[in-house]
Amino acid sequence: MPLTVEIRALQNGSGSGTPRVRTALLACALLSVASGASAQVGSPAGAVPVDRLAARRAALLEAIGRGVVVVRSAEERNLEGDYPQDSDFRQDNDFFYLTGLESAGAALVLVARTDGPDEAILYLPARQPAKEQWTGEALGPGAEAAALTGIADVRPAERFAEDMARLRADTASPLWRGGLVLGGAVPPACRVRAVEPRCDDAFVGPALAAAGAEVRSLAPYVASQRLVKDADELKRLRRAIDITAEAQREAMRSASPGMYEYELEAVIEYTFRRRGAERVGFPSIVGSGPNSTVLHYDKNRRQTRPGDLVVMDIGAEYGYYTADVTRTIPVSGRFTPRQRAIYELVLGAQQAAIDAIRPGVSVQELEEIARRYMREHSGGLCGDSSCDRYFIHGLSHWLGMDVHDVGAYDRPLAPGMVLTVEPGVYLPGEGLGVRIEDDVLVTATGGEVLSAGAPRTVAAVEALMASGARERAAGAR
């Protein structure tokens, strides 16, 4: 069910738990909104609207029914030991989804009750002026954090372990029998019922499990919500995809034989940064010639040669949401007849799947449609077998805060879901690989191709590359 529908159900008093209490909690949270404040200081994406954050927490509490949710933030990476390629910190997705904050060392506690008001408590580290001289101004506990998140109860992070110990003493209560639900940046062994005794006691899982309280993973609950995007998520995703489509166009204009793969990568990632993307969603894949047949090739070191195909599988991350768009281009500007035939087979299979997207259809059904198209249209392109033998990966994955985003694949498509459609054919013996990937939003009546700004027909790709060649020639005179 779309999130907007779930929140409407809460407001109408339907569903499980205590919807009137949860609606009141949501309304109280909205009263604390401070206009103009930004949780993502300086980010082109801006802050997540507080009403969206409050709605997500309310829907999560409704899904939990009864229990305590603990979501930990991410921690800073070690600049000397972890080799971060963007910055030393990126927030945990679930923590950002529920709070909109980029603070490290933080925790969110949500208490779902059936016999009283729900609670939301945010724990933030106290500010350290001496450290901030090195790392920049931080958000500490106080009114600003409450305004940015819609959570009125903001406490120093130092109180987290103490508060959890106090709650832990009450494990016989109906609330605790409802379960402890752990999520965010928690050690994997602490995320499930069979927690290890050596887990940090601050995560409260081991002691509660020993006392008989059920410990569950938050992942299925939040994954179900994140699968259907709300208005703010779609705004961020659309921008990430538009930036990525522009980067594909710039790479097509720039490509010429003799360029190194990393030169094309530089064009792509310069466009990302220039347009406000703060990270790559994943390492950029720019594979030419034989590297076009390697699915996750990302060294990008080879020098292109005349006649090569180049597979460019790229995604800008904007405001914590990532695109994933792949185009295959002829570095010399025109496809050979053989390359064109394979390309148009892949394109036809992709279009057949895109045309079949609508609510109620499954990802598995879309893949079968694409493979059937290949089997029916391969002719002798791949020898005695159908070319779908060389389509060696899945057709689709969910897209959102992660490039392979969370969510169950047996769930039928519904409006608000975003998925990729990416058939491919890889012939290593010929050094010939073709992959075409687009990002599609499921609508009430079908699918909207969000990445349509990146040319994908043979004619459109060749025309843009010819335009780039003319511009380079004119600039050289």
Alpha carbons within 13 angstroms on the beta-carbon side of residue 263 total 14
What is the average per-residue pLDDT within 465-473? Answer: 93
Close Cβ partners of 242 (under 8 Å, ≥ 6 residues apart): 453
Integer angstrom CA distances of residue 339 from 125, 334, 336, 381: 57, 9, 5, 10
**Which one, of 4, 24, 187, lies nearest residue 113 by Cα?**
24
pLDDT at 55: 93
Amino acid identity at 173: S
User: pLDDT tens across 310-369, in order?
Assistant: 999 999 999 999 999 999 999 999 999 999 999 999 999 999 999 999 999 999 999 999
| CA gap 265, 246 in Å, rounded | 13
What is the average per-residue pLDDT within 287-313? Answer: 97
Close Cβ partners of 52 (under 8 Å, ≥ 6 residues apart): 230, 231, 232
pLDDT at 208: 60
What is the average per-residue pLDDT within 171-198? Answer: 56
| CA gap 128, 120 in Å, rounded | 25
* Domains within the chain, CATH numbers bracketed: 3-226 (3.40.350.10), 231-476 (3.90.230.10)
Which pLDDT band holds residue 33 (cuts at 50, 70, 90)? very low
Which pLDDT band holds residue 114 (cuts at 50, 70, 90)? confident
Which pLDDT band holds residue 80 (cuts at 50, 70, 90)? low
**Which pTM value belongs to this model?**
0.86
What is the rounded average pLDDT for all residues in the chain? Answer: 85
Asked if the model's pLDDT at residue 420 lies above 50, the reply is: yes
Asked if the model's pLDDT at residue 6 lies above 50, the reply is: no
Do residues 29 and 55 touch, judged by C-beta distance below 8 A? no
Two tokens, residue 441: 């939003």
Asked if the model's pLDDT at residue 23 lies above 90, the reply is: no
Residue 205 parent element (H or E): helix 205-210
Query: Which residues pair with residue 110 across a beta bridge?
Result: 69, 120
Query: Which residues pair with residue 322 across a beta bridge?
Result: 317
62-95 in b/e form (b: 16+ CB < 10 A) is bbbebbbbbbbbbeebeeeeeeeeeeeebbbbbb
% of the chain beyond a pLDDT of 70: 81
User: pLDDT tens across 142-165, in order?
Assistant: 999 999 999 999 999 999 888 877
Q: Residue for token digits 């057949």?
A: 352
**Which one, of 252, 290, 170, lies nearest residue 456 by Cα?**
252
Given phi > 0 = left and psi -120 to 50 = alpha, else beta, which region is 25? alpha
% of the chain beyond a pLDDT of 90: 65
| CA gap 435, 312 in Å, rounded | 9
Asked if the model's pLDDT at residue 105 lies above 70, the reply is: yes
Which pLDDT band holds residue 32 (cuts at 50, 70, 90)? very low
Asked if the model's pLDDT at residue 31 lies above 60, the reply is: no
